[in-house]
């Protein structure tokens, strides 16, 4: 079924094409969505629309893999991405030098062949 594409780029159209591409594996829909996203990403006039579009996980994935402009545009617009909180370090790192040199005594292991004389 042939559809004519709307000459105007809207976030709703881009998301509809991305969903169609994800659901049916439609390459034409994916190509159309990527081209529309490039129009939004590469012209400063549409940067606010593009940043709003990146709230959707599918659009964010396409941006990260294909277009690679979302972070740059966000920085230029003054948006700060909150850093992920780091977990505190636990004591499971490398042991100190003294601990590595000093080995605990190994208990004597019974022989696998008790009848054999050493």
Residue % of the chain over a pLDDT of 90: 19
Q: Is residue 20 part of a domain?
A: yes
pLDDT digits (tens, 9 = 90+) for 43-98: 888 888 888 998 999 988 888 888 877 778 777 777 665 556 666 666 666 656 66
Rounded to the nearest integer, the mean pLDDT of the chain is 79
Q: Is residue 15 part of a domain?
A: yes
Query: Is the Cβ–Cβ distance between 67 and 41 less than 8 Å?
Result: yes
Q: Is residue 96 part of a domain?
A: no
Q: Is residue 87 part of a domain?
A: no
As a whole number of angstroms, the distance between CA 70 and CA 81 comes to 11
Q: Is residue 98 part of a domain?
A: no
Query: Is the Cβ–Cβ distance between 53 and 14 less than 8 Å?
Result: yes
DSSP 46: G
HSE of 63, CA atoms in CB hemisphere, 13 A: 24
Q: Is residue 56 part of a domain?
A: yes
Full residue range of the structural domain in which residue 49 is found: 11-76
Q: Is residue 61 part of a domain?
A: yes
Look at 52 and 117; give whichever has higher pLDDT: 52
Whether 101 shows a pLDDT value over 90: the answer reads no
As a whole number of angstroms, the distance between CA 32 and CA 15 comes to 11
Q: Is residue 89 part of a domain?
A: no
- As for how many domains the chain has, the answer is 1
How does residue 16 score in pLDDT terms, banded at 50, 70 and 90? very high
How high is the pLDDT of residue 17? 92
The pTM score is 0.57
Burial label for 75, CB within 10 Å (0-12, 13-18, 19+), is exposed
Look at 114 and 32; give whichever has higher pLDDT: 32
As a whole number of angstroms, the distance between CA 101 and CA 103 comes to 6
């Amino acid at each position: 079924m042939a559809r004519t594409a709307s000459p105007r780029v809207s976030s709703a159209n881009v998301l509809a094409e991305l969903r169609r591409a994800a659901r049916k594996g439609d390459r034409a829909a994916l190509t159309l969505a990527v081209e529309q996203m490039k129009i939004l990403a590469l012209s400063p006039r549409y940067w606010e629309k593009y940043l709003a579009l990146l709230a959707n996980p599918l659009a964010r994935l396409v941006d990260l893999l294909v277009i690679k402009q979302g972070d740059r545009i966000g920085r230029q617009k003054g948006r700060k991405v909150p850093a992920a909180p780091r977990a505190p370090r636990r004591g499971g790192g490398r042991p100190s030098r003294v601990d590595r040199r000093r080995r605990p005594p190994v208990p004597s292991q019974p022989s696998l062949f008790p009848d054999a004389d050493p």
